[in-house]
Amino acid sequence: MSLLRTLANLGYGSRREVQALITAGRVRDAGGRALRADAVVAHAEVRVDGQPLDPAQGLVLMLHKPRGVTCSHDDAGPLVYTLLPPRYRMRKPPLSSIGRLDRDTSGLLLLTDDGALLHRIISPRRHVPKTYRVELAEDLRADAAALFASGTLRLRGERTPLLPAALQVADPRHAVLTLREGRYHQARRMFAALGNHVLDLHRERIGALPLGDLAAGAWRPLAADEIARIFAAGVAADGAATAPVQRRA
C-alpha cells in the first residue's frame, strides 16, 4: 500500500491533506529522509513530524468508560469516541466498540478496527465472561446467587432463560456479577427481576483481561498477549462463586 493511502487510512487527513503533509516534508523515514507519496515503506520506519505512526490496522484499545458517556458514533451528549484523538475517529476501517456499556455504566470497554476479532468476542457461541462490580439500592435476597446460577431466571418480556451467572457477595448491597452473555441491560434487569435496583455498575474485567488502574476517560492500545487474555477465562457451568470478594474503594 502506498504511503499516501496508508496515512489517509490511519486518519492523518484526506488524501489531499496527506499529500500536503508529504509535500511539506513532514513525512520522513526513521533516518530523516523525506518520503514520496507513492513510497512503500515499513510501518515502523515512517515518521510524521518526527513521531512514529499510529498503530496499523488491527488496533485494539482498552478504554475506561466514565459514567455519562455513550457508546455511540452519533447520539446526543458525550460519546466514547470523543475521548480518543480526532485522528482515531477518521481511521478506515473505523474503530468500533466491542459491545456496549450503557450511559450510566462505567468501566472496561474495548474498541477495535478488526471486524473478525469484534465478532469473535461478542459471538454468543464464545460466552466470553464479563465481570461487573455492583452497588444495589436494597439488600440482596438470600437466594440471589443460587437463582442467578440456576439457568432458570427469565427477564421480563423474554421467553428464553438466562445462562448461569456467577454472583459473589461482598456485603448485602455490594457484589460481583459475571455474565456469559450480553442481553440488553442484562445486569440491571437481572436485579430488577429480584425487586432490586442497581445504583452503580462498573465493568472491571472481560475474560481474564482486567481494567486495572487505568484512569476514567483514559485509554491505551493492547498488546497481543493482552488480547489473548480475553479468551483465557470462563465461568463454571453452574455459575457458582469460587472466592469471597472485596468492595471496590
Q: Are 164 and 149 in contact (CB under 8 A)?
A: yes
Residue 109 and residue 120: Cα distance in Å, rounded? Answer: 15
Residue 61 and residue 162: Cα distance in Å, rounded? Answer: 29
Question: pLDDT tens digits, residue range 189-232?
Answer: 999 999 999 999 999 999 999 999 999 999 999 999 999 999 98
Q: Which amino acid, residue 146?
A: A
Q: Are 209 and 134 in contact (CB under 8 A)?
A: no
Residue 64 and residue 176: Cα distance in Å, rounded? Answer: 18
Question: pLDDT tens digits, residue range 55-103?
Answer: 999 999 999 999 999 998 877 779 999 999 999 999 999 999 999 999 9
* Residue 241 binned pLDDT confidence (cut-offs 50, 70, 90): very low
Q: Are 192 and 40 in contact (CB under 8 A)?
A: no
Task: State the pTM of this model.
Answer: 0.88
| Positions marked catalytic | 102
Give me the pLDDT at residue 233, please: 63
Question: pLDDT tens digits, residue range 123-145?
Answer: 888 889 999 999 999 999 999 99
Question: Taking the mean position of all CA atoms in its chain, how far away is CA 37?
Answer: 34
Residue 3 and residue 36: Cα distance in Å, rounded? Answer: 7
User: Which backbone phi and psi does 177 adopt, to 5 degrees?
Assistant: -115, 130
Residue 219 and residue 143: Cα distance in Å, rounded? Answer: 38
Question: pLDDT tens digits, residue range 14-69?
Answer: 999 999 999 999 999 999 999 999 999 999 999 999 999 999 999 999 999 999 99
